[in-house]
Structure 1
Amino acid sequence: MSGSSRSPNVHGRRARSLAAGGLTLAVVAELSSAGLLGLSGWFISACAVAGAATFSSFSYVAPSGGVRAFALARVAGNYSKRLVLHAAALRRVATARAGLFDRAAATGRAQEDGLWSGELLDRSMADADSAGMALIESTTRFAVTAALTTGAVIAVGASTSLAPAAVLAAGVVLMAVIAHRTPGTTRETEQHTRKALRGELVTAVDAWTELASLGAAEQLAARTTARFTRLDSAREAAGRRRHRTTLATGLIGAATLIATAVTGSAPGAPTFVFVALLSLGVLAQAEQLANAAQARATAKAAHRRLTSVPLTANDPTIAQIRSWRTEQDIGFADYLLPPMALRPGRVLGATVARGAMLVVTGRSGSGKSTLLRTLASSLRQATEGRGGRPAVVAVAADDHLFTGTLGSNWRLANPALTDNDVDARLAQLWLNDSGLTATTPVGPGGRQLSGGELRRVYLGRALALNPHVLIVDEPTTGLDDRTARHVLGILTNLPDTTVVIALHAVPAWLESSGQVTQLPLDHPGP
């Protein structure tokens, strides 16, 4: 127990150690690169000066050894840096993603309450990547620039005087300030705008017939054109900002390089070349700070979103529903419901036998759909399928069909279904009267089917799973009285499945049959 409780701390220490090791290797590699650049320039200049002299006692042994040492350190440092930093960044990405799913699993209600949509999940995964890769794209660049500037200032000050060292330090600080003021979320905003625009275009293509019949095609085209124009304008503005930042840092870098080289006492040619090349390496590194600042701003925004995703609707006054249990010993207890689901202080309990039906009734807004979603979520958390059957299957009021045929949609639930099996189930639900077969295409989102047909197709797909508990929200929506009675008759005749449905009111024939238990949710009148 104690070992498992220490495990997260151990993993956290290892991750921090890996990141610190990667940053150290990055600093060593860049210092070696700058040292190699400066020492090589000094060495070549010193050799040239010595060769031009009539008599010279210049020894090339020590400088050439230093060049080789810097070169080896640079190669080894760069290779090791890539290995360690990428491992540390990937571990951070994996930790962020795992934490995201852990938070969702801990609440359990997030998906059922519609808080975890596909779009939100996609964005959260991208945010986890941005937060993790900030170690390479932002933190490392800032750390390397700081260490390189410190080392270069010390080397320049020691080889010449304090004046050029101070000029170099001031130039790097000014470039860092300009980089920090650069907008950091431009790329993120542009990606979000493009994503929204793509979504609207796809929706418009799917609904083009309806839009044309409504006379809204021209308005949609004008709105889409306006959005394209805004996107292009935003891109141009962002490009101008990036260009201004690049130009400003380049000019400051050039001025700093010139001022560093000419400031102070006149050095010899080798020292002059050493200072110039070393300063050039530092200033080239400082020019990358604009990209580092942008990556840092993107990572901070990603972290804020990752830690502020709404997962629950906690409220100390929320009522509780306790001890729901079916005859198959599938149940749950002590979970919270949103305030609109039940009256304050109301506690519900029910036992439903196998093959029986619970009907949740109430007018619109009384909390029927919320209650059914919560039941389904809690059953999924508390149980597992038995004998290959799922514990619970829920059919929401806004269920979804995928583009394809009826057969391909139903086989998502049960891959063993043949076309003949699908046709038999369609006949059971009276869908064959509409000419529907296993090979009938449903169109995008089931667009080619009527509302009543969709409800029965959703129900048939759920029945193909043969769950222990079947939860259906408004199964008779869009059906005439005769078809609605037939569908309810099918649901009351499932001998091995407990059925929970939501209706505005129980039909008289079903109420008098004695086959259902009612759970009214209507709020009391004023």
Structure 2
Amino acid sequence: MTHPETDGVTLREALTRLAPWWRLHDQYRRRLILGVVLMMLTACSALGLLAVSGWFITASALTGAALAAGAGMTLDVYTPGSGIRLFAVSRTVSRYLERLYNHDTILRLLASLRGTAFAALVTMDPARVAARRSSDWLNRLTADIDTLDALYLRLAAPPLMALGLIAVLVALVAVWLPTTAAWLAGFLVLGWAWLTLGQARWGLVASRRRVTTLESLRSALMETLRGQAELEAYTALGSARQRLDEIETRLLRDQWRLAVITAIGNGLASLVIGLSWLLLLASAMQGMMDERLTPAVMVMLPLAAMALSEGLAGLPAAFTQAGATLGAAERLNELSSATRPLEGRHTLASGAVQVQIQQVSWRYPGAWFEALDEVTLEITPGTQMAICGASGSGKSTLAALLTGQTRLQSGSITLNGQPIDACSPESLAHAVGCLTQQVELLDASLADNLRLGARQASDEDVWQELEAVDLAEWVAQLPQGLATRVGEGGRQVSGGQARRLGLARLVLTDPGLLILDEPFSGLDARTAQRMAQRLEGWFKARTVIYLLHEHDLASPRPGTQSITRVWRLKD
């Protein structure tokens, strides 16, 4: 992707980058079109109200003056009076309905956009996910998606409504002043082009950069708050604050520039409306002198031009910030382009899984060395083996490949004779279970966390697995039992309890291949031994891979006595 400060973006390039998100808008096409119609009805009602009011006030004044002078004259006050009431009511009602309807549409659209972005994120290669901070991905799902609401609400519907309003005004003027209408149309279209495309181009760099800077500010602020104790202990808090000040200075500089551009755009919008008013006033006065127009029509046409503010006044502010929407779309496109296609269709039978790994090599983006280098390994069904290696030798990478979270770069992996890429994601999720060193618990009850992968598990099943991991007595003593919430990130439970809850959750899913990364770390020897004995029968019916730093078959650590084979990864 090109850098916004150094490379320009053509209109075609911008439309290409926004195209994926326009396609998502397409599913709400009817609602979006109806929203524009409601906006158009509001603007036309304002134009009709000003035009009829100007005509009626002038006609009433002239009729009163004629009657005062003794001349005979009549005026139908009921028809224009009804028209004024009609336009006043329709303007109020249509504006209310437009705001209510369009914002409801946008909320539905944002939900779809956020769902699409989240679906792309969860299918992304873990290596790509780990390459950025969690706050960056959160920013994609929140701030960037919210910024995309401008795509319709500010960048599509308002300019279309403004063009429609210009067309109605020009058509009205053409009834009495055809030549003036042609000049007015050309002038207003040029003004519309500048207030949209011109403002967008002028504010493109600053608005795109502002969103990126704002993202950097959020990330830096979160890092500073989380690491405040360490920063203060190492007397580095001052430098962190200085970094935040520098980011804020850049942000304020861009915001000031955008404010100036918007102010100039607002001034130009007022100038376009004012010059249109003067053009119509001068032409109408000339027409009245030529007896082509009545005095009431002469006043009506310039007043109608004042309704242009309904369509043009909001364009500069919206299009000056168009670069922010473009930047958000570009970052979300990066997220979508990094997803892995889920094309697998084969399923895996229940029971122990046979694993064959042939010449598998894998390197993380930007890494100097391979995480795995031509690994070849065969594991027969029902085997309990340990894969050993030092930190960084590739154990976690191998686990990610076996669970399908990471795609192969070279070599092959087959499960029960089926290439892992050909297995459906649902089949892999049910057949392969992995207990990582970092167990993720949701801010929900113990029961909800345990049933995360087995929604149909009964309370009896849950208690049975809690007994297997030596937690049943502890849960039974809790005032709310299984309904006890574990807190955000599992903060209400200890690290050892979290790992045992993770193991119980894994057992409930009943996979045929288990990958256990240091399953008994953080546990005392007696607890580890009790857990291993209770799970021994269940493990024997499955293929179990232990990821350990070291294992001695002659003198195994507590809980690992059932391991019958050891295979070591090269450092």
**Fold match (TM-score > 0.5):** yes
Measured after TM superposition, the shift of residue 298 of structure 1 is 3.7
User: What does residue 240 of structure 1 align with?
Assistant: 260
Q: Please give the alpha-carbon distance, in whole angstroms, between the structure 2 residues aligned to 1:100 and 1:231.
A: 26
Preserved CA contact (<8 Å) 2:207 2:321? no
| Aligned pairs (5 A) from 1:194-343 | 194-263=214-283, 265-267=286-288, 268-294=294-320, 296-310=322-336, 312=338, 327=351
Of the candidates 420, 428, 433, which is equivalent to residue 392 of structure 1? 433
| Aligned pairs (5 A) from 1:97-496 | 97-104=114-121, 107=123, 109=125, 114=130, 117=134, 119-132=136-149, 134-163=151-180, 166-167=183-184, 169-171=186-188, 173-182=190-199, 183=203, 190=210, 193-263=213-283, 265-267=286-288, 268-294=294-320, 296-310=322-336, 312=338, 327=351, 349-353=378-382, 357-362=384-389, 366-376=393-403, 381-382=426-427, 392-396=433-437, 459-463=499-503, 465=505, 467=507, 468=510, 471-473=515-517, 493=533, 494-495=535-536, 496=538
| Aligned pairs (5 A) from 1:76-115 | 77-82=94-99, 84-104=101-121, 107=123, 109=125, 114=130
Cα deviation, 1:363-407, whole Å, max 9, x if unaligned, reads 66553212213434569832677xxxx9735224x667999xxxx
Q: Sort the Cα spacing of 1:350 and 1:474 in 2 relative to 1 into closer, same or farther, 3 A.
A: same
Measured after TM superposition, the shift of residue 40 of structure 1 is 1.6
User: What does residue 42 of structure 1 align with?
Assistant: 55
Measured after TM superposition, the shift of residue 132 of structure 1 is 4.6
Q: Please give the alpha-carbon distance, in whole angstroms, between the structure 2 residues aligned to 1:280 and 1:459.
A: 69
**1:243 counterpart SS class:** helix
Measured after TM superposition, the shift of residue 51 of structure 1 is 1.6
User: What does residue 454 of structure 2 align with?
Assistant: none
Q: Please give the alpha-carbon distance, in whole angstroms, between the structure 2 residues aligned to 1:30 and 1:256.
A: 17
Q: Please give the alpha-carbon distance, in whole angstroms, between the structure 2 residues aligned to 1:91 and 1:402.
A: 26
Measured after TM superposition, the shift of residue 52 of structure 1 is 1.0
Unaligned runs of 5+ in 1: 1-10, 427-443, 448-452
Q: Please give the alpha-carbon distance, in whole angstroms, between the structure 2 residues aligned to 1:347 and 1:312.
A: 28
Preserved CA contact (<8 Å) 1:341 1:366? yes
Identity over aligned pairs, percent: 20
**2:335 counterpart SS class:** coil
User: What does residue 515 of structure 1 align with?
Assistant: 563
Q: Please give the alpha-carbon distance, in whole angstroms, between the structure 2 residues aligned to 1:121 and 1:111.
A: 17
Measured after TM superposition, the shift of residue 28 of structure 1 is 2.8
TM-score by length of 2: 0.65
Preserved CA contact (<8 Å) 2:125 2:338? yes
**1:17 counterpart SS class:** helix
Preserved CA contact (<8 Å) 1:137 1:292? yes
CA RMSD of aligned residues (A): 5.0
| Count of equivalent residues | 468
Measured after TM superposition, the shift of residue 145 of structure 1 is 0.2
Q: Please give the alpha-carbon distance, in whole angstroms, between the structure 1 residues aligned to 2:94 and 2:391.
A: 67
User: What does residue 432 of structure 1 align with?
Assistant: none
| Aligned pairs (5 A) from 1:50-89 | 50-53=63-66, 54-71=71-88, 73-75=90-92, 77-82=94-99, 84-89=101-106
Q: Sort the Cα spacing of 1:66 and 1:475 in 2 relative to 1 into closer, same or farther, 3 A.
A: same
Preserved CA contact (<8 Å) 1:141 1:292? no
Q: Please give the alpha-carbon distance, in whole angstroms, between the structure 1 residues aligned to 2:449 and 2:371.
A: 30
Measured after TM superposition, the shift of residue 223 of structure 1 is 2.5
Q: Sort the Cα spacing of 1:472 and 1:231 in 2 relative to 1 into closer, same or farther, 3 A.
A: farther
1:29 aligns with 2:42: yes
Q: Please give the alpha-carbon distance, in whole angstroms, between the structure 2 residues aligned to 1:65 and 1:186.
A: 49
Q: Sort the Cα spacing of 1:256 and 1:507 in 2 relative to 1 into closer, same or farther, 3 A.
A: farther
Preserved CA contact (<8 Å) 1:33 1:74? yes
Preserved CA contact (<8 Å) 1:93 1:129? yes
Measured after TM superposition, the shift of residue 152 of structure 1 is 0.5
Cα deviation, 1:10-47, whole Å, max 9, x if unaligned, reads x9976322322332232233222211221121111111
Measured after TM superposition, the shift of residue 362 of structure 1 is 4.4
Measured after TM superposition, the shift of residue 306 of structure 1 is 3.0
**2:148 counterpart SS class:** helix
Q: Please give the alpha-carbon distance, in whole angstroms, between the structure 2 residues aligned to 1:313 and 1:29.
A: 43
Cα deviation, 1:225-272, whole Å, max 9, x if unaligned, reads 333333333333332232232233333433333233224624343223
Unaligned runs of 5+ in 2: 1-23, 289-293, 364-369, 406-423, 452-458, 472-487
Of the candidates 13, 32, 38, which is equivalent to residue 19 of structure 1? 32
Q: Please give the alpha-carbon distance, in whole angstroms, between the structure 2 residues aligned to 1:208 and 1:79.
A: 48
Q: Sort the Cα spacing of 1:31 and 1:121 in 2 relative to 1 into closer, same or farther, 3 A.
A: same
Measured after TM superposition, the shift of residue 144 of structure 1 is 0.7
Q: Please give the alpha-carbon distance, in whole angstroms, between the structure 2 residues aligned to 1:76 and 1:91.
A: 23
Q: Please give the alpha-carbon distance, in whole angstroms, between the structure 2 residues aligned to 1:323 and 1:286.
A: 58
